[in-house]
Structure 1
Amino acid sequence: MPTFHDPSADAEEARQALRGLAHATIRIDDPDVLYGVVGELLGAARSLEQSLIQLAGASLTYQGRAAHDDGDLGLGAADAWAAADALRQAAQHVSAAETVLDQAAGHLGRIAWQPPQRQWVTVVFLQGEEAEPVLDLIDRDGTVVAIEQLRGYDYGDETTNAALANGHVYDEPPRGANDRQVIAGEYALTYSHAFGNVALYRAYTPPADTPAAGDGPQRSGPAQDAATADAARRALEERRNRVRGDGSWFTPDRITDIKRNRGLER
C-alpha cells in the first residue's frame, strides 16, 4: 500500500505494481478490460511526470551539498545539475506518452466489444429405440438429468473434430417445429416425443483465425479438410474400440445400463 510520505517505499511499491501488471497483461482474455487498464496507466503516467519534475527540483535544491567521494563540490554540483536536467527530459518523454495514452483511451472508449461468435456442434442424435430410454428419463427425472446422461457421448476435441469434419456445426442448435429445446450452460438438448428423437449439442467457439460460416463444416483448404476428416475417423475408431455393454459403439455405458434395466436391449 502507498505511504504517501515515504518516497523510497512508494517507489518500490510502484515498481512491484508495474512488474505485476507486466505479468498480468501477458494474456488478455477479455478486451473489455483494455479501456480501464489504459485509463489507469494514463493516470499513472501523469503522476510519474509530476514525480520526475519534483525529483529534478530536489536534485537542484540540494545541489550545494553534492560532492564526489574525494570531496570535490564542483563536480558534485555539476552532476546534481545534470541529474536534474535528465529527470526533466524524462518527464517530457512521459508527457509525450501521456498524450498518446490519452488517444488510445479515446479510441478504446468508443469500442463496443462483441462477444465471441458461438456455434454449436452435434454431440449425439438418437432416434427410435435408441431415444426411448432418454425420453423416459426426461419424463421421469427432467431435462437436466437427461443432459447429464447424454454428456457421456461428449469426447471433447474428438467430438468437435468429428462434427466439423462431417458438417454438424450450426449457428443455432437445430430445432424442428415439434421439438422441445432446453439450453443449460454449454449444452442444448432437443427432443420430440412425437417423432421419437433426442439430440444433444455443445457450444463451440471457433479460433480467432477461423473464418465465420453458417451451417456446415468449417473449411480451410483441401489439405486441412483431409487431415481433420482423418483425425475424426481415427477418433471414432478409438471410440468403437472402447465399447462395452450392448456392443453399440454410439451408446455410452450409462445409457446402456438404462436400456438393460428397462428391458430395451435389441
Structure 2
Amino acid sequence: MPTFNDPTADAEEARQALRGLAHATMRIDDPDKLYGIVGELLAATRSLEQSLIQLGGASLTYQGRAAHDDGDLGLGAADAWAAADALRQAAQHVNAAESALDQASGHLGRIVWQRPQWHWVTVVFLQGEEADRVLDLIDRDGTDAAIEHLRGFDYGDETTSAALANEHVYDTPPTGANTRMVTESEYALTYSPTFVHVALYRSYTPPPDDATGEGDGPQNTGPAQDAANAEAARRALDERRNRVRGDGSWFTPDRITDIKRNRGLER
C-alpha cells in the first residue's frame, strides 16, 4: 500500500506493482480489459512525470551538499546538476509516452469487442508420468502423432458437456511463457517439457444466447437438469478415460484396442 509520505517505500511499491503487471499482461483473456488497463497506466505516467521533475528539483536543492569521496565539492555539484538534467529529460520522455498512451486510450475507447465465434474446450490435460509419455511421442514422431493419440480422449458431446460443467472453456487455448502450441484442424495441442504437462483442446461453437430446445412441448431444463446432465457426462467421460489408461496399454486409446481385439491381435 502507498504511504504518501515515504518516497523510498513508495518507489519500491511502484517497482513491485510494475513487475507484477509485466507478468500479468503476458496473457490477456478479455480484450475488454485493455481500455481500463491503459487508462490506469496513463494516470501512472502522469504521476511518474511529476515524480521525476520533483526528484530533479531535489537534486538541485541539495547541490551544495554534494561532494565526491575525496571531498571535491565542485565535482559533486556538477554531478548533482547532471543528475537533475537527466531526470528532466526522463520526465520529457515520460510525457511523450503519456501522449501516446492517451491516443491508445482514445482508440480503445471506440472499440466494441465482438464475442468470439468459437471457444476451446479441454479434451484432456496430462501431467507428470502421463505427460512424459506424450512428450516422448512428440520427440519421436512429432506433434501430429501426439494429437492423433490424444484424440482418443475426445468423446464429442460428453467431452464438451464435462468441459462446460467444469468451466474448462477458453477464448484461446491457455499457454504460458514455457508452453508451446500447435494446431491441427479443430484441435490445439499445448505442451511444456519444462513443466511436464500436455493438453489437447478442441474448438467449440457456442449456441446463440437466445437458442431454445426443439419441439413445442415442455422442455426438461433448469439448474437441476443441467447439473444432472453434467454429472452424467462426467461419469461417462471418466469411464471412457479409465479404459484408455487401464486396458493393459495406457498408450493405446480404446478405439485402437477394439481394432486389435477384432483382429485377434490381443491375448
- TM-score (structure 1 length as normaliser): 0.51
Measure the CA separation in 2 of the matches of 1:92 and 1:44.
Answer: 15
| Residue in 1 that maps onto 2:168 | none
Displacement of 1:236 in angstroms is: 7.3
Q: 2:255 aligns with which of 219, 222, 237?
A: 237
Q: Which residue of 1 aligns with 2:95?
A: 95
Which amino acid counterpart does residue 15 of structure 1 have in structure 2?
R
Q: How many residues align?
A: 164
Offset of residue 155 of structure 1? 3.7
d(CA) in 1 for partners of 2:64, 2:71: 12
Distance 2:76 2:38 in 1: 40
Distance 1:93 1:239 in 2: 65
Name segments (4+ residues, structure 1) moved above 6 Å: none
What percentage of aligned pairs have identical amino acids? 66
- The match for 1:85 is 85
> In 2 relative to 1, CA 20–169 (structure 1 residues): closer, same or farther, beyond 3 Å?
closer
CA–CA separation in structure 1 for the residues paired with 2:205 and 2:58? 67
TM superposition shift of 1:84: 0.3
Partner of 1:22: 22
- Give me the TM-score of the superposition, normalised by structure 2: 0.51
**AA paired with 1:99?**
S
Q: Which residue does 2:238 correspond to in 1?
A: none
Partner of 2:144: none
CA displacement at 1:115 relative to structure 2: 1.8
CA apart distance, 1:111:
1.1
For residues 213-252 of structure 1, give each alpha carbon's deviation from its aligned partner in whole angstroms, at most 9, with x where no partner exists: xxxxxxxxxxxxxxxxxxxxx96725958xxxxxxxxxxx
Counterpart contact for 2:49–2:91, Cα < 8 Å:
yes
**1:104 alignment partner in structure 2:** 104
1:69 aligns with 2:87: no
Name the structure 1 match of 2:158. Answer: 154
Q: Which residue matches 2:183?
A: none
C-alpha change, 1:239 and 1:29, in structure 2 (3 Å) is farther
1:113-137, Cα deviation, whole Å (9 max, x unpaired): 122224799xxxxxxxxxxxxxxxx
The residue identity in structure 1 corresponding to 2:49 is E
User: Could you say which structure has the larger radius of gyration?
Assistant: 1
Amino acid at match of 1:56: G
For residue 154 of structure 1, give the secondary structure of its aligned residue in structure 2.
helix
- 5+ unaligned residues in a row in structure 2: which ranges? 122-154, 164-185, 188-203, 234-251, 260-267
Distance 1:181 1:240, change over 3 A: farther
Q: What is the letter of the counterpart of residue 86 of structure 1? A: A
Distance 2:257 2:212 in 1: 25
Distance in 2, matches of 1:120 and 1:59, equals 55
Structure 2 counterpart of 1:35, one-letter code: Y
Cα displacement (A) at 1:31: 1.0
- Quickly say closer, same or farther: Cα 1:176–1:8, change in 2 above 3 A: closer
Which consecutive residues of structure 1, in runs of 5 or more, have no partner in the other structure? 122-150, 190-199, 201-233, 242-266
What amino acid sits opposite 1:60 in the alignment?
L
In the alignment, the residues of structure 2 paired with residue 99 and residue 5 of structure 1 have an alpha-carbon distance, to the nearest angstrom, of 28
For residues 50 and 4 of structure 1, what CA distance do their matches in structure 2 show?
Answer: 14
User: Is this contact kept in 2: 1:68–1:76, CA < 8 A?
Assistant: yes
Q: CA, structure 1 residues 98+152, in 2 after alignment: closer, same or farther (shift >3 Å)?
A: closer
